[in-house]
């Protein structure tokens, strides 16, 4: 059975394919309503346990991920699972790392890499993808078929 987010819910980004992924900052209170089925957490240290499937990508604040191959695998997993499950992507603030990951997922979903940051800023959060090297990471992101 398909269980996805309400497209009008705060932080939920709708991709061109119709997939919905919620971005959020872990420093904010947990949102009311539905819980995720899968969470992708982008942090410098391993997060605590959550009562749903999750994955951690080592990713320091204001930087790019530590391991490109692991990050690509995690982003593909989030994108695939979002077809039928409630997926959230989160870092502490919900802007830089989360925005960068959402922009890369947008590339997986068919948005040209050169347009992915603008797509996320227009549809998720205006200040997403905070640093020049995060923008460059998205611009160079090619996905699994490159």
Q: For residue range 93-106, what is the model confidence (pLDDT) as tens digits?
A: 999 999 999 999 99
- Tell me the chain's radius of gyration from C-alpha atoms: 14
pLDDT digits (tens, 9 = 90+) for 23-39: 999 999 999 889 999 99
- Structural domains of the chain, ranges and CATH numbers in brackets: 13-140 (3.90.190.10)
The answer, yes or no, to whether residue 49 has pLDDT greater than 60, is yes
Share of the chain above pLDDT 70, in %: 96
- The pLDDT of residue 2 is 65
pLDDT digits (tens, 9 = 90+) for 51-95: 999 999 999 999 999 999 999 999 999 999 999 999 999 999 999
Residues 108, 141: Cα–Cα separation, whole Å:
9
The answer, yes or no, to whether residue 142 has pLDDT greater than 70, is yes
What DSSP string runs through the chain? ------TTSTTEEE-TTS-EEEEEETTSPPPSSPPPSEEEEEESSPPPP-SSEEEEEE--TTS--S-HHHHHHHHHHHHHHTTTS-EEEEESSSSHHHHHHHHHHHHHTT--HHHHHHHHHHHT-TT-S-SHHHHHHHHH---TT-
- The pLDDT of residue 135 is 97
Mean of pLDDT over the chain: 95
């Amino acid at each position: 059975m398909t269980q996805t987010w309400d497209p009008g819910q705060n932080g939920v980004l709708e991709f061109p394919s119709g997939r919905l992924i919620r971005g959020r900052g872990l420093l904010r209170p947990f949102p009311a309503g539905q819980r995720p089925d899968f969470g992708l957490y982008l942090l410098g240290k391993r997060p605590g346990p959550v009562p749903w499937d999750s994955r951690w990508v080592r990713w320091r604040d204001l930087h790019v991920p530590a391991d490109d191959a692991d990050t690509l695998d995690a982003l593909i997993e989030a994108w695939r699972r979002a077809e039928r499950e409630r997926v959230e992507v989160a870092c502490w603030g919900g802007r830089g790392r989360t925005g960068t990951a959402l922009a890369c997922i947008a590339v997986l979903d068919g948005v040209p890499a050169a347009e992915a940051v603008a797509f996320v800023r227009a549809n998720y959060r205006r200040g997403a993808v905070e640093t020049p090297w995060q923008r460059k990471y998205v611009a160079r992101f090619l996905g699994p078929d490159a």
